[in-house]
Structure 1
Amino acid sequence: MTRDHDPVLRPTAAQTSAALHPPPGRTGGDLVVETLAGLGATTVFGLPGQHALGVFDALRRSDLRYVGLRMENNAGFAADAYGRITGEAAPLLLSTGPGALMSLPALQEAAAASAPVLAISSQVPVAGLGGGRHGYLHELPDQAASFRGVVKSVHTVRTQSQIPSAIAAAWKSALSVPHGPVWVEIPQDVLLAETHLPVVTAPDATPDELPPRPELTAVAADLLSNAARPAIVAGGGVVRSDASGKLLALAEKLRAPVVTTFGGKGAFPWEHPLSLQSWLEDRHTTDFLEDADVLLVVGSGLGELSSNYHTFQPRGRIVQIEADLGKLESNHPALGIHADARLALQALLETVSERTDPAAAGRVREVLGKVRERIASQDLALEQDVLASVRRALPDGSPSFWDMTILAYWAWSAFDPRGANTLHSAQGAGGLGYGFPAALGAAAADPGRPVLAVSGDGGALYSIAELATARQHDLDVTWLIVDDGGYGILREYMTDAFGTPAATELTRPDFVALAESFGVPGVRTSPETLEEDLAKALATPGPSVVVLPAVLRMFAPTHRR
C-alpha cells in the first residue's frame, strides 16, 4: 500500500501571504501566547519573574486574560481550580528556579486530583541548560528533574520553532485521561529573541481517549448482573470525566448502593435511596463494602482515606475502573479495567442485566442510621450545626473550596455537595493554603455565581496576601475563616498521641481588620449568626471575609471493630 495520494491540506492564498509576511516586533513570548490562544485558552494565571518577562510582555499584545497572584503556589492552586471547574487546561506562567519551585505543592495537588494545569516556566539561557556551571541567576543543574516526579510530562524547549509543538503536546497530555499537570520550560533568550516565524493559529492537540477493552467489560457486566450484593465506590475519576449521570443510571439498573470517596463527592445524589454518602472513616460503611460479593470501584485507587486507612479487607470480587495505570490494582487484586470512567460506565450500561433488589435501599438506611447513632453519641452538636449553617447559606450550584482544616474534614464525610464538581478540597496531596486561592481560580472560571472558600486560621495565613488579588480582580469569593487559635487538627492529633500538643498555637492577626485594610469587607460572626452572615456575604458581589471564632472537634473515626 502506498501513501503517494494522501490528501494534503493546502493553505489559501491569504494564509500563505500571512505566513510569509508575519507582523514585526514579535518574540518567542508571542509564540507562547499565540499557541495558548490557538489551543483555546482564554485565561492564564501566574507571577512574572526576570527570565519570564518575554512571555509577560507578549501577554499585553494578546487577548488572553491574566490573573496574577501574589505567590506561585497560590497561582498554581488557582489554576488547579480553574481546570477542575472548566475541564480545560489552565495555563500557569512561572519564572525560573525559586519561582518555579514554589509551585511544586500546587502541582502535586493537581496531580493527586487529576486537575489539568499547563505550567509554563522560563529557564536560564540555552547556554546554561543542563550544566549548573554558568552562575546564572536562579540556575538549577536540572530544573526539569524537580518536576518529573510530580507532573504527567515534561517538555524542554531549546529553539523558537519548538515552542508551538511543545506546548501543544503538553496541552494534549494534560487533557488526556487521567487529567493532570504538565511542565514546559523555555529559556530566557528564546523567549526574548525576535521571531520571524508565522503567527501560530490552531495547533492540533486533541486529547487521546481511553476506552475499555470490551472483553473486560463483558466479564465485569456478568459479575455485576449476577451479584447478590453489589456495591459501588465512586471516586474523583467519575467527577473529572463528567460521568455522574452514567453512574446514576448504572446504580439504578443494578440496584447497587453507592459510596462516594472524598474526591468523588457529588458523583452520586446525596439523598438518593441507594446513596451511602461519604462516611468512609466509619466501620459500619467499611463492613458494608466488605460484605459486597461484587464491588465496583470507579475512578479511585482505594488509597489511604478511601480504604478507611487501609483497614478495608474485601471478601468479594472487585472490579476496578481506573484511568491511572499506576493505581490499577495497586491496593487490592481486582478485575482491572484501564479506562476512562465515562467510557467504561457507558460500556457497562449497555451490557449489564437489570437487577431487582427491594432490600437494597433498606440496607442503605440501616448503615446510615448506625452512622448517625455513632456521631450522635460523641457530643458534637456545635460542629454539626456549623456545617449545616454553611450548607444552608451556600446557594445550590455554587462551588466550595476547603482547606485542610477540621470543618473540611467534617465536610468530606457529612456535607451534601448538591451536585458533581462543586465541592473541592486539598485532600489529594494535603497541603495547607489551598482553599482561598483555589476559590479565586473558580471565580475567574465562572463569574456568574458566588464561590465559597473555607480555611482555618493557620491555613489562612498561607494565602492571606491573595486578598489583594481578590480585590484587584473583583472576584466573587466569600472566605470563611474558622479561627481556633492554631493548627486545630494537629492539636488534636498531638493530644491523642502524646497527651499534650506542641508547636500548634499561633499568634494571629485581626482577620476582619486585615481584610478591610485590603478593601475587602469583613465580619466577625458566631455559630448562632453564621448562616445569616455567610448568606449575606455570598449574596453581595465581590470578595468578602467572614471570621468564625470557634474551637471545633473532629468526630472519632472507627478503623477497626
Structure 2
Amino acid sequence: MTRNGGDVVVETLEALGAHTVFGIPGQHALALFDALRRSELRYVGSRTEVNAAFAADGHARITGSVTPLLVSTGPGALQTLAGLQESAAGSAPVLGISSQIPSAGLGGGRGGYLHELTDQLASFRDVVKHARVVRHVSQIPSALAEAWEIALTAPFGPVWLEIPQDVLLAPASVPPVTSVSWSPRELHPRAELVAEAVRLLDGAQRPVILAGGGALRASGELLELAEKLRAPVVTTFGGKGNFPWEHPLSAQSWLEDWHTTEFLAGADVLLVVGSGLGELSSNYRAFRPRGAVVQIEADLGKLESNYPALGIHADARHAVRALASGVTARAVDGAAEERVLGLLASVRERLTAQDLGLEWQVLDAVRAAVPDGTPTCWDMTILAYWSWSAWDPRGGAQFSAQGSGGLGYGFPAALGVAAAVDGPVLAVSGDGGAMYGISELATAAQHGSRVVWLIVDDGGYGILREYMTDAFGQATGTELARPDFVALAGAFGVPATRSTPESLREDLAKAFAGDGPHVVVLPAVLRMFAPTHLEHP
C-alpha cells in the first residue's frame, strides 16, 4: 500500500515520542485512523469527543508530556472545545489533530461538504496556545514538531492542527519519518529580578509562599526554598501536591477560609509561584496584601494581572531554583511552624462549629480507602469542592476541572490517567456530572481500565442547588431524574456497589483490590462548609 498523509502524521507522532493517542474516528479522518493500525501507537477510543478530550487532558497531566487527540471535522472537532478549555486553564499539553473538508472547500467558498464550517480554525484560536491548518503532506512533520514544542514551552497548554481530508489521503512523496527535532523554549528569569526577590525574601520577617499549579513541576525546588526561608507554604486548589501535605511548614489549602486569607495578607513578603491570584486563589478578591508580593508566572498575561507585584516572567522550575540558590538559610527556631499550627487550628475550630459530621465522615472514609500514591480525578461536585481544601494527596496527583469549571471531567480524565499508570485511579462525580460520562463505562470495560468511580448521588446538581437556595430562597432546574447507577454499570459489564457512609471505606477498599473498573454509588446529600469571604468584604 502506498503511504499517505495519514501515515506521515502517525510516523511523526511516533518520532516525537508519543505512545498513546485518544479520540474518535470520522469520515474525513479515516486515513488518519487507518494509519494507526500500521503503527506502534496505542489507541484509546472514547464514546464522545468531549470525553476523549478530557481523557487526553488527564493523560497529558499525569505524564507531563504531549498527548495526541485525534478527531474528525465539524461536530467532532467542536465537541473537544470544553476539554481543550480545561487543558488551557490547567496547562495540560494536549495536541488536538482534526481532519478538515477537502482543501478546495476551505474558506467556505463552495459549500455542500459534510461537516463543513466556514472557518473551523476560528473556533479554536482563542482556546488553545497555537492553531494551524496543514495544506500539504510535506508540511506535516514540521507542523507537528512546531505544535509539540509550543505545547511543552512554559506555560504548557493545548495546541491544535487541522489537516484536510485530501491531504490525509494524498500519496506521501516524503520518505518515512524516523526522527524529528524539537526543543521547547526555556523561560529563565532575568538576573536582576532574581537578585531583587532574594533581597526582599532575605529581609522578610514573615515570608509566606503561595504555590499554584505552575509550581507542580518545581516541587523539589519549592521544598528546598521553603525550608531555607522557614516560610509556610499554602497551595492553591490547582497546585495540590506540590508541597508535602503534612510537612511542618504546610499551611495546606484552605483558600476559602478567612483565616488563610489573612495569613497570606499578613506576610511581609508573599512569594506567589505559578498562580495568577485569580478568583479562587484570592478568596473571591477578598485578599488584600499588606506586604510586598513577588510573583513568578510563566504566562505573561497573568503577571500582575490582579495584584501589583515584583513580576518575574519565568518557568517556576528555573526561578525557584535560582531563589533557593540565592537566599540565606535560616535557623530552625519553630516560629514558622507555630504560625502554621495556629492557622490550621483556627480553620478547624471554625469548621467544627458547623454541622458537617457527614461530610467529614465521607471524606475521611475515601481518604482511608484510597491507597497512597493513587492519582485522583474530581468532577465539579460538592465532595470535589471539599477535596480542593481538605484532601491530602499522599503522593498521588490530584486533578480536577476547577480551572474552567466544566461538568463531566472526572471519569473520562481518570480513564486517560489509567492509560499511563500501572496502579488504580480514583474518579469522583456527582450524579449530575456522572451522566455526562456514563457512556465511558463502555470504554472502561473495553480497555479494562483500573478506575474506581465514586458517584455521590444526591438527586441533582447539588452545588447549584445550594447556590440558588442561598441566593434566591429556592432552586430551579437542579433536580434530576437519574438511572439506577449500579444496574446501569452492570449492563456495561462493570462491577458496581451501592454504599452507605458507614460502609464506604470498606466498599472502596474492595473496589481498589480489583484489577478493572468498579463503580461505587453513595446516595448522600452533602453540604459545603460556610464561606467566609462574604463575612469580610
Same fold (TM over 0.5): yes
The Cα offsets for residues 268-323 of structure 1, whole Å up to 9 and x where unpaired, read as 11111111100000000001111111000000000000000011110111000001
Which residues of 2 match residues 263-342 of structure 1 at below 5 A? 263-342=238-317
For residue 414 of structure 1, the aligned residue among 390, 393, 399 is 390
SS in 2 for 1:243: helix
Name the structure 1 match of 2:145: 168
Q: Which amino acid in 2 is paired with 1:410?
A: W
Name the structure 1 match of 2:32: 55
What is the total number of aligned residue pairs between the two structures? 534
Q: Which amino acid in 1 is paired with 2:489?
A: A
For residue 329 of structure 2, the aligned residue among 354, 365, 370 is 354
* Cα distance in 2, alignment partners of residues 193 and 202 from structure 1: 21
* Cα distance in 2, alignment partners of residues 130 and 336 from structure 1: 42
* Cα distance in 2, alignment partners of residues 157 and 129 from structure 1: 12
For residue 359 of structure 2, the aligned residue among 383, 397, 405 is 383
* Cα distance in 1, alignment partners of residues 192 and 328 from structure 2: 16
Name the structure 1 match of 2:460: 486
* Cα distance in 1, alignment partners of residues 439 and 171 from structure 2: 36
Contact 1:248 1:268 in 2 (8 A): yes
Q: Report how far residue 132 of structure 1 moved.
A: 5.2
* Cα distance in 1, alignment partners of residues 249 and 183 from structure 2: 37
* Cα distance in 1, alignment partners of residues 387 and 402 from structure 2: 11
The Cα offsets for residues 94-153 of structure 1, whole Å up to 9 and x where unpaired, read as 100100000000000000000000000001110111225422111111111100000000
Which residues of 2 match residues 79-90 of structure 1 at below 5 A? 79-90=56-67
For residue 188 of structure 1, the aligned residue among 157, 162, 165 is 165
The Cα offsets for residues 213-253 of structure 1, whole Å up to 9 and x where unpaired, read as 111011001100110110000000111xx211111110010
Q: Report how far residue 358 of structure 1 moved.
A: 3.1
State yes or no: 1:521 paired with 2:495. yes
* Cα distance in 2, alignment partners of residues 288 and 238 from structure 1: 20
Name the structure 1 match of 2:87: 110
- Name structure 1 gaps, 5 residues minimum: 1-23
* Cα distance in 1, alignment partners of residues 170 and 416 from structure 2: 32
* Cα distance in 2, alignment partners of residues 153 and 47 from structure 1: 22
Q: Report how far residue 360 of structure 1 moved.
A: 1.1
Name the structure 2 match of 1:18: none
* Cα distance in 1, alignment partners of residues 107 and 14 from structure 2: 30
Q: Which amino acid in 2 is paired with 1:402?
A: W
Q: Report how far residue 88 of structure 1 moved.
A: 1.0
Moved over 6 A (4+): none
The Cα offsets for residues 376-413 of structure 1, whole Å up to 9 and x where unpaired, read as 11110100110011111110111000000000000000
CA RMSD of aligned residues (A): 0.8
Contact 1:132 1:140 in 2 (8 A): no
* Cα distance in 1, alignment partners of residues 96 and 347 from structure 2: 43
* Cα distance in 2, alignment partners of residues 292 and 63 from structure 1: 53
For residue 237 of structure 2, the aligned residue among 262, 267, 286 is 262
* Cα distance in 2, alignment partners of residues 462 and 208 from structure 1: 37
For residue 530 of structure 1, the aligned residue among 494, 497, 504 is 504
* Cα distance in 2, alignment partners of residues 434 and 132 from structure 1: 37
- Name structure 2 gaps, 5 residues minimum: none
* Cα distance in 2, alignment partners of residues 415 and 374 from structure 1: 18
Name the structure 2 match of 1:230: 207
The Cα offsets for residues 141-185 of structure 1, whole Å up to 9 and x where unpaired, read as 111110000000001101111111111100111111111000000
* Cα distance in 2, alignment partners of residues 492 and 80 from structure 1: 29
Which residues of 2 match residues 501-516 of structure 1 at below 5 A? 501-516=475-490
State yes or no: 1:468 paired with 2:445. no
* Cα distance in 2, alignment partners of residues 346 and 500 from structure 1: 51
State yes or no: 1:71 paired with 2:45. no
SS in 2 for 1:461: helix
The Cα offsets for residues 8-31 of structure 1, whole Å up to 9 and x where unpaired, read as xxxxxxxxxxxxxxxx52110000
Moved more, 197-206 or 422-431: 197-206
Name the structure 1 match of 2:196: 219
* Cα distance in 1, alignment partners of residues 492 and 367 from structure 2: 28
Name the structure 2 match of 1:542: 516
* Cα distance in 2, alignment partners of residues 379 and 132 from structure 1: 63
* Cα distance in 2, alignment partners of residues 47 and 142 from structure 1: 21
Contact 1:256 1:274 in 2 (8 A): yes
Name the structure 1 match of 2:77: 100
Q: Which amino acid in 1 is paired with 2:285?
A: H
Name the structure 2 match of 1:16: none
Name the structure 2 match of 1:3: none
State yes or no: 1:244 paired with 2:216. no
Q: Which amino acid in 1 is paired with 2:275?
A: S
* Cα distance in 2, alignment partners of residues 288 and 257 from structure 1: 10
